Structure 1
Amino acid sequence: MAYPGTFSDEPLTPAGRLFLQPHTNIIIHCILRGRNPIDIDAVKSTVKSSLMMQHPRFCSLLVRDKNGFEHWRRTQLDIDQHIIVINNRLDKSGNFMDESQGFSTEEEDEDYDEAAVNQYVANLTVSSPLSTDKPLWELHVLMAHKCSVFRIHHALGDGVSLMSMLMASCRRVDDADALPRMVPEKNVELKGGKRRDCFWLFGVFWWFVKMVWFTLMFVMEFTVKSLLLCDSKTVITGGDGVELWPRKLATARFLLEDMKVVKKAIPNTTINDVLLAVVSSGLSRYLDHRTPNALHEGLRMTGVAMVNLRAQPGLQDLSKSMKGNSEARWGNKFGVILVPVYYHKAGNNPLEYLKRAKTTVDMKKHSLEAYFSYRIGDLVMSLLGPKYASLLNYKLLCNTTFTISNLIGPLDEVTLAGNPISSIKVNTTSLPQAITMHVLSYAGRAEMQIIVAKDIIPDPEFLAKCFEDALTEMKEAALRNQ
């Protein structure tokens, strides 16, 4: 029931309206696996006392006025409508099992649990929208699997906002009163000294020239890709309508320490460079398996990547974001960049993938492509409305091969409702691409959720292994070069 006359309706942001359109109606899933059986009373108590219950987005209904414009309207929240408790065990198809049948040894295995929960979430990505009769979030608690699935509509916020909200309710395992650490602490040493102004000014001028050139080049490519040019067809290509096809979900696992070993092989390389190299090498391996000798060397596949545009990286200060602080603003504040990867036959030096990835990422970071994509979206929303902005985004996804996101999670193991969390993974509902990858780091590990259209990519578990093997091969090459 809405509060009568207590709060005025608040209009949605342009990004919020965009994510409610049919072609871009996206729900974010966060899978939390506990080490111990779930105490449902403790979960409800934690949710009731969390900052989420104070945030207007999580306590508001989506309503439309007589002109069709969307608004948030505060309502009385009923926790029991949002927390869905599932006691039945799942099979590998994500369906509920009859408890009277009993369970085999295999069905009690951790890998079996993972496969069952992955398929349960994969089924949700296509067939289960959130009801507008209540605020746009749910928590599915899978008691038999010691797992919870947090479902939040993208109109409420992006991955950075929602991870900040989740972590505000978590505490570190080694310190029950401490919030999770999200970004490593850095000791910054300031060095003084003289500089030659003429060289310094030339360096600034050259940096500016490159920034302008890269921005113009990438914004033009972004525009052409959104409207006209599509990737070459391969066995992993999606397209119009593929977002409605059945999904499968698999997980690739990496150790951050292995990624750090690889990035040391080339100076000034980042974890994001390594991740893009792993994707490029892994996709090449998979295509070699599916269509050996059918593709030409250097075939380009384009990915869509999300970039956080907030001035404050990492965990947001929710007290500031809820008050509208511009640097830590709640909601959706991200740009989009296009990241090309290239097919190469097996036998190449694995570190060549890293060199190419670093060159690409360095140019992207030196441009304002992400910022301009954000502003272009705002401009289209203002001039043409959410329908055409949604179609433009949809066309971009149809013209590219995959989407990838990378989110920083807590550095240490955390507890939620007193239960230590062994794994945190994120993904979203399906897109017209046949493959979507979402990476989240947690306590020294990084897990990539790979969502595929199963009629196009029937073996996502093998694809996950291709990514894992790619990192292993790069690590071995890096150690040999030391």
Structure 2
Amino acid sequence: MEPVGDLDSRQQALKPIQTKRLAAREVEGDGKKPEDIKEEEEGEALSPVGRIFHETCFNVYVIAIAGFKIRINVDVVKANLEHTLLKHPRFSSLQVKDVKKDGGMKWVPTKVDLDKHIIIPSLHHTISSPDKMVEDYISNLSKTYIDYSKPLWELHILNIKTSDAESVAVFRIHHSLGDGMSLMSLVLSCSRQISNPKALPTLPAKKTSNPDPVNSGRIWWTIRLVWNTIIDVLMFLATTLFLKDTMTPLSNGWKKGGGHVPRRFVYRTVSLDDIKLIKNGMKTTINDVVMGVSLAGLSRYLNRRYGETKEDKGATQKKNNLPKNIRLRATLMMNIRPSPGLHVAAFLYHRVMNHTTMCFSNVVGPMEEIGFYGHPMAFLAPSVYGQPQGLMIHFQSYINKMTFILSVDEEIIPDPNRLCDDLEESLKFIKDVVIARGLV
């Protein structure tokens, strides 16, 4: 697989594709001209958000790492993909420039050659460190693009035993094909429960609060909500214009340049029951717990890094090496408008990300063990690359486990596994405190 090169040059080289009509259509009485019908059949335009993910400053890919309890049967996977994933229009369409209109991109149906999408590298099973080899392989994917001559997705199958799986599959999908939840839903639709092979996976039901805060006596809660919303809007505008995070060892500013650089992906799996124990003891939510664990883990990591930069090497043993009043914020992308202006929106996304330190994401997974085309799944670890920030933390639940995944720029965070240790130790520390104080 080779890098495709600069995005602008790739898009400029794209030519209009003439496609055959998928089916004959009766046009009498529908009020449409034949040329209008032909244009519809050639494909619809990408959504504004999808087009943002093609901007040169924001060319983002999703990486989903899945470990399995058995070796992957490639023939079984290919046979099932024909009847599931390839039925989805976005996974069986090209993205091309629409030269007839504004030069934007559109979906054009095409015939998919699975041999170009399923990559099976040659692996030596006598490798001394399979975990490191798999980690390096996945990180190397972030150095390349998917060729625009085919639908923008790939499945890499690594039939090699690691410390936590008998085999590993890596989905690489351009983010313009969907957001995290939609892609998760699509993957789960290709899976079935191990205990009931005919049943689809189930996700935890979202608990809803009383929708009428006035009649339920929550007027003060509503006032606070409005006030905090106003403050958040003002903070967003300030961040876009001038407000930057404090320069720390986690910031892009600690290295020269920026832009898209190779990433390293590391992950660690902990007990979801431990997180629920803290949630119940502190009467909060799982989201609050993982955010608290992230803050504690980052504090431990930064404390050590600041100590290492001091002349006195023993400073790392001090209780607190952190400077006062650090501003360290994370961004979470959400599409709240159906048709935002493309180049205004792309500018805002990139501006906000360059003025903040990291990205954060938390996706809910299935509550029972699932199989992907009959292959029992051991873990699921999704992440992304292509964003300008040097760090992304992603939390993914699965059965009674929670996996946190780090996507890092190694020039900024050269020791991502140490940061994994800090997150895991922070979870244990918070759990021990909750138990010691008798909150559970």
Q: TM-score range, shorter-chain basis?
A: 0.7 to 0.9
Matched, 1:225 2:251: no
Task: Kindly indicate whether the alpha-carbon contact (under 8 Å) linking 1:136 and 1:152 is maintained by their aligned counterparts in 2.
Answer: yes
CA contact (8 A) 1:57 1:156 kept: yes
- Return the offset for 1:395: 1.3
Give a deviation string over 1:222-277, Cα, whole Å, max 9, x none.
1111221110101111158434334322213221100011112222x000000010
Which residue of 66, 73, 77 maps to 2:112?
Answer: 77
Residue 113 of structure 1 deviates from its aligned partner by: 3.1
Task: Give runs of aligned pairs for residues 251-290 of structure 1, distance below 5 A.
Answer: 251-267=267-283, 269-290=284-305
The answer (yes or no) to whether the contact 1:122–1:451 under 8 Å persists in 2 is no
Are 1:114 and 2:149 counterparts?
no
Per-residue deviation at 1:119?
2.4
Counterpart check, 1:47 vs 2:45 = no
Residue pair 2:18, 2:42 contacting (<8 A) in 1 also: no
Cα distance in 2 for partners of 1:433, 1:71 equals 28
Distance in 1 separating the partners of 2:206 and 2:357:
36
CA 1:48–1:477: 2 relative to 1, 3 Å: same
Per the alignment, residue 27 of structure 1 pairs with 61
Mapped partners of 1:114, 1:424: distance in 2: 15
Question: CA–CA distance in 1 between the matches of 2:57 and 2:69?
Answer: 38
What is the aligned partner in structure 2 of residue 65 from structure 1? 98
Alignment partner for residue 327 of structure 2, among 288, 300, 319?
300
SS, match of residue 119 in structure 2:
strand
The count of aligned residue pairs is 382
- 1:123 corresponds to 2:140: yes
Q: Percent identity?
A: 33
| Contact 1:44–1:79 (CA under 8 A) maintained in structure 2 | yes
Superposition map of 1:201-212 within 5 A: 201=215, 203=217, 205-212=219-226
Which stretch shows the higher mean deviation, 392-401 or 459-468?
392-401
Q: Paired residue for 2:14?
A: none
Contact 1:282 1:470 in 2 (8 A): yes
Q: How does 1:430-441 map to 2 (within 5 A)?
A: 430-441=386-397
Q: Distance in 1 between matches of 2:58 and 2:196?
A: 40
Partners of 2:58 and 2:386 within 8 A in 1: no
Q: Which runs of 5+ in 2 are unaligned?
A: 1-16, 23-40, 162-166, 308-319
| Corresponding residue for residue 315 of structure 2 | none
Q: What is the distance in 1 between the residues matched to 2:267 and 2:258? A: 21
Q: Distance in 2 between matches of 1:257 and 1:298?
A: 34
> Do residues 86 (structure 1) and 149 (structure 2) align?
no
**1:396-411 pair list within 5 angstroms:** 396-411=352-367
The aligned residue for residue 14 of structure 1 is 48
Q: Which runs of 5+ in 1 are unaligned?
A: 90-101, 191-196, 307-333, 336-373
1:366 corresponds to: none
CA distance in 1, matches of 2:325, 2:434: 23
CA offsets, 1:68-124, max 9 Å, x none?
1111011112111111111324xxxxxxxxxxxx726xx2xxxx4333222222221
Counterpart pick for 2:126 among 99, 103, 123: 103
The 1:423–1:202 alpha-carbon spacing in structure 2 relative to 1, beyond 3 Å, is closer
User: Are residues 9 and 241 of structure 1, via their aligned partners in 2, closer, same or farther at CA, if it must alter by over 3 Å?
Assistant: farther
- Contact 1:34–1:421 under 8 Å retained in 2: yes
State the one-letter code of the partner of 2:331. V
Which residue does the alignment assign to 2:185? 164
Match of 2:199 in 1: 178
In 1, Cα distance between equivalents of 2:244 and 2:428 = 32
Q: Which residue of 1 aligns with 2:430?
A: 474
CA distance in 2 between partners of 1:222 and 1:253 (Å): 33
Change (3 A) 1:224 1:131: same
SS in 2 for 1:29: strand
User: CA separation in 2, counterparts of 1:163 and 1:181?
Assistant: 12
Aligned to 2:413: 457
For 1:252-308, what per-residue CA distance to the aligned partner results, in whole angstroms no more than 9, with x for missing partners?
3221100011112222x00000001001100110011111255324422101124xx
What's the counterpart of residue 216 of structure 1? 230
* Preserved CA contact (<8 Å) 1:242 1:453: no
- 2:89 maps to which of 56, 70, 76: 56
Report the secondary structure of 2:57's partner residue: helix
Q: How does 1:407-426 map to 2 (within 5 A)?
A: 407-426=363-382
2:263 to 214, 226, 247: 247
CA deviations 1:329-361 (Å, max 9, x no partner) are: xxxxx34xxxxxxxxxxxxxxxxxxxxxxxxxx
**189 and 11 in structure 1: CA distance in 2 versus 1, 3 angstrom threshold:** closer
Choose between structure 1 and 2: higher helix proportion: 1
TM-score by length of 1: 0.74
- The whole-number CA distance in structure 2 between the counterparts of 1:214 and 1:265 is 26
- Counterpart of 2:56, as a letter, is P
Q: What root-mean-square deviation, in Å, do the aligned CA atoms of Structure 1 and Structure 2 show?
A: 2.4
